[in-house]
Amino acid sequence: MYKILEKTRFSDKVFKFRIEAPEMAKHAHAGQFLMVRANEYGERVPFTFADWNPEEGWVEFIFMVIGKTTAMLSDLEVGDCIQDVTGPLGHPTEMGEGTWIVIGGGVGLAIAFPVARQLVATGHEVHAIMGARTKDLLLLEEQFRTILDDDHIHITTDDGSYGEQGVVTAPEERLIQAGKADRIFCVGPVPMMKFATLTAQKYGIPIIASLNPIMVDGTGMCGCCRVEIDGETKFACVDGPDFDATKVDWNDLRARQAAYLTEEGQSLKAYEEVRCACQR
């Protein structure tokens, strides 16, 4: 059991948990993730380490409520326990030399933030491109502003409700043309990662994508997180989650992510009905 030490609410649907996990805190690195099972009947879901402290024995993860498990987690409070937490899993992000562009879209911003923070902490110049469909769905702006000044933050919204109207590839291309990109890291919806990759490829800039297929065990045993990289099958949990983005089969990844949409919708609806009944 893993005790919740702190719960922070960033917005209606975005939370951060600090949990007691002394062993995990000793071994965590930026880009790695943990697997959480909210209760003994729950599914296992992955979240990226947002922060950790080996001296104080805690780790943190940030999550957005999008389905049943994240809704269940958001109902937990300080002092409650999470049934199982496993980690660190996956390989840390490789932080090569030079100026970086870190691109995060939607919930991908929760994964992009710890990578950007670690790059800054290790002396890299970093430009963050933060994309969202609309202003209300833009995650962690305040947190990004604690590590980067205004000139290094570039916000886009699809509907123009905040920042620049459009998609992340517009500032990405401008930064590349201005010579401000030696390497790029991206994470978010598949179409976003695909087009960020095509833009980087046009200019020959190396680009890494953190892939987010559905995961079940997170340790390479179930095969659920299969991704196609340069025609070879890899497991995102043990071989990734970061891969050379120019080698990813994006159509395959998109199809795999959407495999259980109907069941996920039904599961959330059933949970919300129980939750409403309990609150009456």
Ligand X SMILES: Cc1cc2nc3c(=O)[nH]c(=O)nc-3n(C[C@H](O)[C@H](O)[C@H](O)COP(=O)(O)OP(=O)(O)OC[C@H]3O[C@@H](n4cnc5c(N)ncnc54)[C@H](O)[C@@H]3O)c2cc1C
Question: Shortest Cβ distance from residue 229 to ligand FES (Å)?
Answer: 14
Decide whether 93 or 212 has the Cβ nearer to ligand X.
Answer: 212
Centre a 10 Å sphere on the Cβ of residue 247 and count the other Cβ atoms it contains.
15
Which tokens belong to 20?
């007691």
Residue from 2, 17, 47, 100 touching ligand X (CB under 6 A): that is 47
Phi and psi at residue 104, in whole multiples of 5°? Answer: -130, 135
Contact 240, 234 (CB under 8 A): yes
Determine, following the binding rule CB under 6 A, whether residue 68 of this chain makes contact with ligand X.
yes
Answer with the entry of ligand X, ligand FES, none that 218 interacts with (C-beta below 5 to 8 A by kind). ligand FES
84 binds ligand FES (CB under 6 A): no
Block residue for tokens 């996920």:
264
Which residue has the CB atom at the shortest distance from ligand X? Answer: 67
> Which two three-digit tokens encode residue 43?
């599914």
> Structure tokens of 49?
């380490």
220 binds, among ligand X, ligand FES, none (CB under 5 to 8 A by kind): ligand FES
Which tokens belong to 254?
């998109």
Q: Using CB distances below 5 to 8 A depending on partner kind, what does residue 257 bind out of ligand X, ligand FES, none? A: ligand X
Does residue 16 belong to the site contacting ligand X (CB under 6 A)?
no
Residue 60 class from Cβ within 10 Å (0-12 exposed, 13-18 middle, 19+ buried)? buried
Residue listed under structure tokens 């290094």: 152
Using CB under 6 A as the binding rule, the residues of this chain from 193 to 222 that contact ligand X are: 212, 214-215
Binding characters for ligand FES, 129-148, by CB under 6 A (x = yes): --------------------
Residue with tokens 């030696």: 182
Give the one entry of ligand X, ligand FES, none that residue 217 binds, where binding means its C-beta sits below a cut-off of 5 to 8 angstroms depending on kind.
ligand FES
Inter-axis angle of helices 169-177 and 190-202, nearest 10: 20
The values of phi and psi at residue 73, to 5°, are -65, -40
Does residue number 91 form part of the binding site for ligand FES (CB under 6 A)?
no
Task: Verify binding: residue 45, ligand FES, rule CB under 6 A.
Answer: no
The reply on whether position 241 binds ligand X by CB under 6 A is yes
Q: Confirm or reject binding of residue 25 to ligand X (CB under 6 A).
A: no
Of 184 and 214, the one with the shorter C-beta distance to ligand X is 214
Find out whether 221 and 199 touch, Cβ atoms under 8 Å. no
Does 264 engage in binding with ligand X (CB under 6 A)?
yes
Is residue 215 at the binding interface for ligand FES, with CB under 6 A as the rule? yes
Pick the closest to residue 251 from 198, 194, 195 (CA basis): 194
Please give the size of the binding site for ligand X, defined by CB under 6 A: 26
Q: Which residues contact 135 (CB under 8 A, 6 or more apart)?
A: 157, 161, 162
Q: Any contact of residue 237 with ligand FES (CB under 6 A)?
A: yes
Encoded tokens for 36: 């959480």
User: Phi and psi (nearest 5°) for 271?
Assistant: -65, -40
Instruction: Give the interface with ligand FES as residue ranges (CB under 6 A).
Output: 215-218, 220-225, 235, 237
The contact set with ligand X (CB under 6 A) reads: 33, 43, 45-48, 61-64, 66-70, 107, 110-111, 212, 214-215, 241, 257, 261, 264, 268
